[in-house]
Structure 1
Amino acid sequence: MSRQMKFVAFLMAGPTCHHHAMWRHPESENRFFDPAFWETLARTLEVGKFDGLFFTDTLSFYNETIMARGGQMSLLDPVPLVAIMARATSRIGLGVTISTSPQEPYSIARLLSSLDVLSGGRIAWNIVTSANDLGAQDFGNEARPPRGERYDLAEEVLKISRAMWAGWADGALVVDKESGMFIDERKVSRTEIAGKLVGVRGMFAVPPSPQRHPVIMQAATSPGGRKFAASYAELVFTLERSLPNMQEFYADMKDRTDKAGRNPDDCAILISVDPIIGETESIAREKQAYINEMVDAHLGIALVSAHTGLDLSRYPADKRIDEIPTENGSGGSIDVILKGTEGINLTLGEAAKRFATSELCPQVVGTPQSVADQLQELFEKKGCDGFIVSPTEMPGSFETFTRSVVPILQKRGVFRKEYPGSTLRETIKA
């Protein structure tokens, strides 16, 4: 079978995804609290044979501007939403973002493994390290871990989780009424790990799912993120502005994965795109201009501050973005912003508004045919293995994409017509 692209939907339990005027679009439904909305959306994506969907997450309101103007925020914990969507579907993968910073490894591993069992092996864990102090304070801590320590902590948490998930051997869960044997305790091992930052000592209480343990996702942008992803991630997503940047990232990550002793094909690289589709090219461009014009410049600066961990409101809006000190912020987010604006000499205000339209990832605009052409070119020129699809209106962006673009790609033989198995790991490895 020829190489086929992958699709994962980008979701958030709030007013925006990557486009921070999404909730203001006349056709966005904003039914954040309606279980039926999430169930229908999951079914739509499964009909479109998406590999999966995943929820990004924020643990707190980053600042008052974001609260007031409807910026990036989670109004619900995404875990119950994933459980609801799992019940409404049978094949699509379901990803949840959980930070390694504020929670204990056992709690994370137990929650994810429970979801994985109940979904029949369709869960992915999007690992983040958290760069914002407000999230730490919600958990009773004064500040996030120092920048140099965050990936050390993430690595320890993941290693502990993987050790606990491996603690159950095949056949450990017996449930034999006649003999009275429920669990064969000889096939469940203790996990005892004392790391520099976290540890665990005990027996893991959740049996494995059909895929054994959740798929590991990670956004690899900073050097630390790339190193971590090369060692552990099965799905990597990134924000890259142009094909040359995508190709550089793709080649670098495949090389890093190989040097980490893994098969590069076991680490799928997905780039984020915002499709905007119209019946004609001019209609699509009008749609793009319409939604982009709704972006609030003040919200943009607040969002960049939240993503970087820097208070950018201290600087004048006309200061060049590449002249702002960045030592104490989130390296990955800062790199994305600088790379997306390099060579353009943008001010902070200009860069912030661009960031708020798509977080500097490409808006793929045109008819269904031309959107399919653009995606296929990025895929075939080794810019990626597939795409994180982010909406500009909800749920219309996904409905239009699955009904108009997906059939074109299926007909061309670059995207699946059926799921290859029942678990997420089977899907992404096919």
Structure 2
Amino acid sequence: MKFVAFLMAGPTFHHHGMWRHPETENRFLDPAFWETLARTLEVGRFDGLFFADTLCFHSENAMARGGQMSLLDPVPLIAMMARATSRIGLGVTISTSFQEPYAIARVLSSLDVLSGGRIAWNIVTSSYHRAAQNFGKDALPGRDERYDRAEEVLNVCLDMWTGWSDHALVIDKESGDFIDEAKMRRTEIAGKFVGASGMFTVPPSPQRHPVIMQAGSSLRGRKFAATYAELVFTLQHSLPDMQEFYADMKHRLDSGGRNPDDCSILVSVDPIVGETESIAREKQAYINELVEPRIGIPLMSAHTGLDLSQWPIDKPISDIPAEAGSRGSFDVILQGTKAGNLTLGEAAKRFATSELCPQLVGTPESVADQLQEFFEKKGCDGFIVTPTEMPGSFEAFTRSVVPILQKRGLFRREYPGSTLRETLKV
């Protein structure tokens, strides 16, 4: 199985009471904190880590009460964590809605070269109008237009990244030859939304170009992932939900002419580990009580692109129309709340606790059992591990759960190579 750590450069990740936990360090502005965390995850042989990102405050209330937010651009953090490690993959989220492809390709390729081929790009289209307004736009385009632009941006980036042939960089002092122009190719693309005309300036990394990561759950998002993604991050709520998504994505990959093994499907889980089952349950209850329900509604609004604050909190969430915004994200929320017929307020509290993903609660052995069941019953290829306290959740998981999975032969003891793409393919 594969493991990727979910990070954000701010006070909360999936669990919106995390920053209030007495053992959370809240050192998200300290470079040394991130470097130490990267080394911890590498000792645990995680495939990678990645930073989700937000480009705005979701609401004044969420800002004031420590809701999900990014206080730093993750790109410099990834650069620092690359220097502190040598094998773990390093993912960064960059939206295709606000930057031109050359700028995206250049920064990601530079990171990929300097890290020795360990970078992944988590592609998002953004879903919140506040983010657009921070970039001087009145509002986001419609969902389909955002995906159309994303495909154009990605294809321009891929064309740039493949413009260098092997051995194009000569650097021969005696002859004076620096670059073999015959082994270079121009990018000449004029799309509806973006384009480029010229030669890309950054040489390829050992893995040639960054791994492509994507998290869309709508039909359009699944189609995009089946065409381009090497790593898919999904929010599912139970084993049957995981199995449905997994089977659908593998079928789409196969139908599109790709090897289904070339794209890893990772589901999000929140492990809460205790010395005994009862201690773990007490930890869960304590942690979850730190969440304020009023943070959940702006959070869900941000994820779906829908203004959910206009509806009464006692309205069944299944009765709320969702013609605009991020249809896939709203479907995920509906899927996770249908069993209890939750109201908007009830769903908001649960969403702010784990974004409706499974909290795996128990001893190290029982948490390992749950992961093994999801994995062996074809619910996923691995897991996006999200914390409930920082950095303690990751420290407990790597020290107690990982060794059990290694002993069972379910997880690696060593990295198979030096690049992220090598790690993901084994």
For Structure 1 versus Structure 2, the TM-score category normalised by the shorter chain is: over 0.9
SS of the aligned residue for 1:271 comes to: strand
Matched with 1:300 is 296
1:72-83 superposed matches below 5 A: 72-83=68-79
The code of the aligned residue for 1:121 comes to G
Pick one of 39, 42, 52 that aligns with 1:56: 52
Pick one of 360, 373, 382 that aligns with 1:364: 360
Q: Report the Cα distance in structure 1 between the residues aligned to 2:340 and 2:191, rounded to whole angstroms.
A: 45
What is the CA-CA distance between 1:60 and the residue it aligns to? Answer: 1.1
Q: Report the Cα distance in structure 2 between the residues aligned to 1:250 and 1:346, rounded to whole angstroms.
A: 26
Matched with 1:160 is 156
> 1:372-425, CA deviations, whole angstroms, 9 ceiling, x for partnerless residues?
000000000000000000000000000000000000000000100000000000
Q: Report the Cα distance in structure 1 between the residues aligned to 2:132 and 2:372, rounded to whole angstroms.
A: 41
Pick one of 327, 335, 338 that aligns with 1:339: 335
Q: Report the Cα distance in structure 2 between the residues aligned to 1:302 and 1:139, rounded to whole angstroms.
A: 20
Indicate whether 1:107 and 2:103 are aligned: yes
What is the CA-CA distance between 1:199 and the residue it aligns to? Answer: 0.9
The code of the aligned residue for 2:119 comes to I
What is the CA-CA distance between 1:323 and the residue it aligns to? Answer: 0.7
Question: Which of 190-199 and 392-401 deviates more?
Answer: 190-199
Q: Report the Cα distance in structure 2 between the residues aligned to 1:53 and 1:268, rounded to whole angstroms.
A: 15
Q: Report the Cα distance in structure 2 between the residues aligned to 1:217 and 1:107, rounded to whole angstroms.
A: 18
Q: Return structure 1 stretches of 4+ with deviation > 2 angstroms.
A: none
SS of the aligned residue for 1:342 comes to: helix
> 1:49-99, CA deviations, whole angstroms, 9 ceiling, x for partnerless residues?
000000000011121011011011000000000000000000000000000
What is the CA-CA distance between 1:306 and the residue it aligns to? Answer: 1.4
RMSD: 0.7
Matched with 1:6 is 2
What is the CA-CA distance between 1:343 and the residue it aligns to? Answer: 2.7
Give the unaligned 5+ runs of structure 1: none
Pick one of 11, 15, 18 that aligns with 1:15: 11
Matched with 2:200 is 204
Q: Report the Cα distance in structure 2 between the residues aligned to 1:86 and 1:262, rounded to whole angstroms.
A: 31
The code of the aligned residue for 2:411 comes to F
Pick one of 5, 28, 31 that aligns with 2:27: 31
Indicate whether 1:272 and 2:272 are aligned: no
SS of the aligned residue for 2:61 comes to: helix
Matched with 2:218 is 222
Indicate whether 1:426 and 2:422 are aligned: yes
Pick one of 386, 389, 398 that aligns with 1:402: 398
Matched with 1:185 is 181
Matched with 2:237 is 241
Matched with 1:138 is 134
The code of the aligned residue for 2:403 comes to P
> 1:138-195, CA deviations, whole angstroms, 9 ceiling, x for partnerless residues?
1111111211211111111111100000000000111111111111111111000111
Matched with 2:112 is 116
Indicate whether 1:325 and 2:346 are aligned: no
Residue correspondences, number: 426
Q: Report the Cα distance in structure 2 between the residues aligned to 1:317 and 1:62, rounded to whole angstroms.
A: 18
The code of the aligned residue for 1:329 comes to G
Question: Which of 320-329 and 43-52 deviates more?
Answer: 320-329
Q: Report the Cα distance in structure 1 between the residues aligned to 2:155 and 2:79, rounded to whole angstroms.
A: 25
SS of the aligned residue for 1:399 comes to: helix
Give the unaligned 5+ runs of structure 2: none
Pick one of 362, 369, 374 that aligns with 1:373: 369
The code of the aligned residue for 2:103 comes to S
SS of the aligned residue for 1:9 comes to: strand
The code of the aligned residue for 1:150 comes to R
> 1:354-383, CA deviations, whole angstroms, 9 ceiling, x for partnerless residues?
000000010000000000000000000000
> 1:110-153, CA deviations, whole angstroms, 9 ceiling, x for partnerless residues?
01000000000000000001111111111111111211211111
Question: Which of 72-81 and 296-305 deviates more?
Answer: 296-305
Q: Report the Cα distance in structure 2 between the residues aligned to 1:62 and 1:16, rounded to whole angstroms.
A: 13
The code of the aligned residue for 1:165 comes to W
SS of the aligned residue for 2:415 comes to: coil
What is the CA-CA distance between 1:316 and the residue it aligns to? Answer: 0.9
Q: Report the Cα distance in structure 1 between the residues aligned to 2:352 and 2:154, rounded to whole angstroms.
A: 32
The code of the aligned residue for 1:404 comes to S
Q: Report the Cα distance in structure 2 between the residues aligned to 1:343 and 1:406, rounded to whole angstroms.
A: 32
SS of the aligned residue for 1:343 comes to: helix
The code of the aligned residue for 1:336 comes to V
Matched with 2:86 is 90
What is the CA-CA distance between 1:14 and the residue it aligns to? Answer: 0.2
Contact conserved, 2:142 with 2:325, CA < 8 A, in 1? no
Indicate whether 1:257 and 2:286 are aligned: no
Contact conserved, 2:314 with 2:343, CA < 8 A, in 1? yes
SS of the aligned residue for 1:237 comes to: strand
Q: Report the Cα distance in structure 2 between the residues aligned to 1:184 and 1:261, rounded to whole angstroms.
A: 34
What is the CA-CA distance between 1:220 and the residue it aligns to? Answer: 2.8
